[in-house]
Amino acid sequence: MRIFLTNHSFLFDIEQTALMLLPSAEPRAEIGPVDEAVPASGEDYGASSIEVTPQCVAASFFLRLGGKCAEKVCRYEFSGENEEKRQSEIRHLARRAAFLAITELTGENPAWGVLSGVRPAKLARALLEEMPAEEAEKALTGRFFVKPEKAKLAVDLAKIAMEAEYDTGPKDAAVYVGVPFCPTRCAYCSFIGPMAAGPNSVKLSAYLTDLRREIAATGEALAAGGANVRALYVGGGTPTVFSAEQLALLLEAVKTNMPLAPACEITVEAGRPDTITAEKVSALVQYGVNRVSVNPQSFSDEVLQAAGRRHTAEEAIEAFALVRKVGPNLAVNMDFIAGLPKDTPEGFVKSIETAVSLRPENITVHTLAIKKGAQLAESRQQEARETLSAMLSAGQAILQREGYRPYYLYRQKYMGGSFENVGYERGGTPCLYNIYMMEEVLPVVACGAGAATKLVSKSRRFERIIHPKYAEDYSQKLEEILAKKADLTAFFQSRPCNAP
Ligand code: SF4
């Protein structure tokens, strides 16, 4: 469906709003007046326009969809805003008009309203800087059409992010170490990395050599800039495709070179239960890892099989028990996905009930997001919004009953039904890395293929350094990547010291 924009160029905003509400129409925004041939042809289309005067702005959106039409006009009177704020209001008004016209014809009532971004709590934080929590919730529901329970969630999580930020200093950093290998590929995953044929795979050990070099150079650059690493996350892929010896080598490089804060949080994703052994857990403990993620995704064997996982529910429980036995002080996260093929609301509830009975410190509930490139992308439609909603609400009720509280959330572009991924914790054990990274509280410095460094500052502006996606390209570009590490030193040197 074509959408024509007049008097403005908010292509991305209008297209994302339409895409969120009308994905099957494949909306494409273009700048310029309505092509006269389109109304005459009877095809669906949208038209967004803006009129700005020194005193006010009016945004309108016309939609023709399936032979029906709707038009909405939204107005805003300026009251002394600076230019940046004016532009933000104008953009918001254009999206608001589009949202109202489209929802009138589709009957859609998305939980996150007009918000299409990845970080709803970021907007809530901006609001909290200007108004009390109650008003921020009202602004989210009134101006952005967010449902009250989601507005409360966003504000609660914004408060948690603000507390985390308050506890950090200008020299603090988070580090991400990427291992883009997995034992096999899950059916819902668009992961582009190689499959590790086994822990001794040549590719894997060559990658480890490169990664250790990069960790050493990064650690040196951070130390030279006076940086203080508060949280380090080894993710993937599946880092535990490495053997115990290889994991020890990786972590030894971290411990020797990174300027880790005394109580640095170190997390390793042991995602696939079929990769976890006592020797590997022991290596993690020996090198000071204090958190791991063991990801069952579901406790139904039928669902696991349909998802292309190579383990059973029982094996996931055994892997968890092994982690508890060998590393009793490790905080454990478990990931689950709502909306997997062959799952049902009852089955999902059973999975969450089983999870809470195991008492992991964290449980993260994802909504299935089928991206291009995943095996399921061709064969399957997203689960109905109502089914997903029932799964998520039931899961949330169980988690809250059992003392788990949400501590971070994010949304994805392809997420089913415009829902979200939510991390829950119990007993004050949130994974700080997730908050630092997702809420852009700290600069995130990345090592490894497919990883991205994001140097955020207090003014919320940031610079990105993106590494090559594939291990082979990463290896070829390694010297170039290492040469760029001086930028990290300069960035941290330019920042004031942490308060004593
Ligand atoms: S373990 Fe994770 S990264 Fe690896 S294939 Fe499965 S979903 Fe993708």
Domain extents in the chain: 1-107, 164-491
Nearest CA to ligand 1 atom 5: 185
Which residues does a 6 A CB cutoff place in the pocket of ligand 1? 182, 185-186, 189, 191, 236-238, 271-272
- The listed range with the strongest mean pLDDT (188-202, 321-335, 451-465) is 321-335
The pLDDT value given to residue 225: 97
The pLDDT value given to residue 70: 97
| Closest to 303 measured CA to CA, from 352, 257, 255 | 352
* Under 8 Å between Cβ of 409 and 388: no
**Backbone phi, then psi, for 2, in 5-degree steps?**
-90, 140
Nearest CA to ligand 1 atom 2: 237
Nearest CA to ligand 1 atom 8: 189
Q: Residue 187 C-alpha to ligand 1 middle, in angstroms?
A: 9
Task: Please state the atom number of ligand 1 nearest to the C-alpha of residue 182.
Answer: 4
Distance CA 177, CA 215 (A): 8
- pLDDT tens for each residue of 36-84: 999 899 999 999 999 999 999 999 999 999 999 999 999 999 998 888 8
The pLDDT value given to residue 361: 98
Q: Residue 308 C-alpha to ligand 1 middle, in angstroms?
A: 10
Residue to mutate, 184, 186, 242, 269, ligand 1, most ligand atoms under 8 Å from C-beta:
186
Between 456 and 29, the higher pLDDT residue: 29
The pLDDT value given to residue 487: 92
Nearest CA to ligand 1 atom 3: 237
Distance CA 320, CA 324 (A): 6
Q: Residue 328 C-alpha to ligand 1 middle, in angstroms?
A: 26
β-bridge pairing 421-425 and 45-52: unpaired
Question: In the predicted model, is pLDDT for residue 215 greater than 80?
Answer: yes
Amino acid, res. 306: A
- pLDDT tens for each residue of 372-385: 666 665 555 555 77
Cα–Cα distances (Å) from 455 to 247, 260, 266, 267, in that order, read: 27, 18, 20, 21
* Under 8 Å between Cβ of 176 and 436: no
β-bridge pairing 45-52 and 56-65: antiparallel
Per-residue pLDDT band for 461 (boundaries 50, 70, 90) equals low
Distance CA 121, CA 59 (A): 26
- pLDDT tens for each residue of 293-317: 999 999 999 999 999 898 999 999 9
Distance CA 450, CA 194 (A): 12
Q: Residue 420 C-alpha to ligand 1 middle, in angstroms?
A: 19
Task: Please state the atom number of ligand 1 nearest to the C-alpha of residue 308.
Answer: 6
First to last CA, the chain: 58
Residue to mutate, 184, 191, 305, ligand 1, most ligand atoms under 8 Å from C-beta:
191
Question: In the predicted model, is pLDDT for residue 447 greater than 60?
Answer: yes
Q: Residue 185 C-alpha to ligand 1 middle, in angstroms?
A: 6
Per-residue pLDDT band for 388 (boundaries 50, 70, 90) equals confident
238: number of Cβ within 10 Å: 25
What is the share, in percent, of the chain residues with pLDDT greater than 90? 75
What is the share, in percent, of the chain residues with pLDDT greater than 70? 92
User: What SS3 state is found at 459?
Assistant: coil
**Backbone phi, then psi, for 126, in 5-degree steps?**
-60, -40
The pLDDT value given to residue 192: 61
Between 414 and 365, the higher pLDDT residue: 365
Residue 208 CB-half CA count within 13 A? 23
User: Which range among 9-18, 199-208, 334-343 shows the weakest confidence by mean pLDDT?
Assistant: 199-208
Domain at 1-107: CATH architecture:
Alpha-Beta Complex (3.90)
Domain at 164-491, CATH homologous superfamily: tm_1862 like domain (3.80.30.20)
